[in-house]
Amino acid sequence: MPVNYDTLAATIAALTHGETDEVALMATLACEIHHADDRFDWTGFYRVTSPGVLKIGPYQGGHGCLVIPFSRGVCGAAAREGRTQLVPDVEAFSDHIACSSSTRSELVIPVFARRGLIGVLDIDSNQPDAFTAEDATRLETILAAVFADL
């Protein structure tokens, strides 16, 4: 079932209205996004916990890596560069960190609040080339709506 981004955005807006706790917001988004589309095999956040370091936050799916430096992997690239990483084949990404052997493609979006980068949203798929530019754009818009004013 492909995600209906209009419905997803409206559901997330209703569920998160008035909430200011970043972890609570991340937990809610991870759950809603993960269950919105069968392509999404692992959905979660890595939070900036110290300069140059991401630590696992709320997620849905199997286990994830606990710590990812900005200098490594797709999540690190998104954090370091401050831009979305759409990777159709993780085997072709030279510095991919294999937290799960089933991951074939990945979409990682930086998450910004007023104070700057607070983390990344990481979505893995067990299907190759699972994500589109529309996925990236629509999820960027949802993240901005939820976190930009915090």
Residue-wise pLDDT tens digits, 75-134: 999 999 999 999 999 988 887 777 777 889 999 999 999 999 999 999 999 999 999 999
133 phi and psi, to 5 degrees? -60, -35
- Buried b / exposed e over 86-101, threshold 16 CB at 10 Å, is bbbebeebeebbebee
Q: According to the model, what pLDDT value does residue 75 have?
A: 96
Band (pLDDT 50/70/90 cuts) for residue 2 is: confident
Residue ranges making up the domain that contains 75: 5-147
User: Per the structure, how many domains does the chain have?
Assistant: 1
The CATH number linked to 27 is 3.30.450.40
Q: Which of 16, 5, 41, 29 lies closest to 120 in space, CA to CA?
A: 29
Q: Which of 64, 77, 132, 141 lies closest to 108 in space, CA to CA?
A: 77
Q: What is the 3-state secondary structure (H, E, C) of the chain?
A: CCCCHHHHHHHHHHHHCCCCCHHHHHHHHHHHHHCCCCCCCEEEEEEEEECCEEEEEEEECCCCCCEEECCCHHHHHHHHHCCCEEECCHHHCCCCCCCCCCCCEEEEEEEEECCEEEEEEEEEECCCCCCCHHHHHHHHHHHHHHHCCC
Q: According to the model, what pLDDT value does residue 93 have?
A: 86
Cα–Cα dist 119/64, whole Å: 15
Residue 81 corresponds to which tokens in the numbers above? 């560069």
- Buried b / exposed e over 37-51, threshold 16 CB at 10 Å, is bebbbbbbbbbbeee
What pLDDT, in 10s, does the model give residues 17-71? 999 999 999 999 999 999 999 999 999 999 999 999 999 999 999 999 999 999 9
Cα–Cα dist 112/133, whole Å: 19
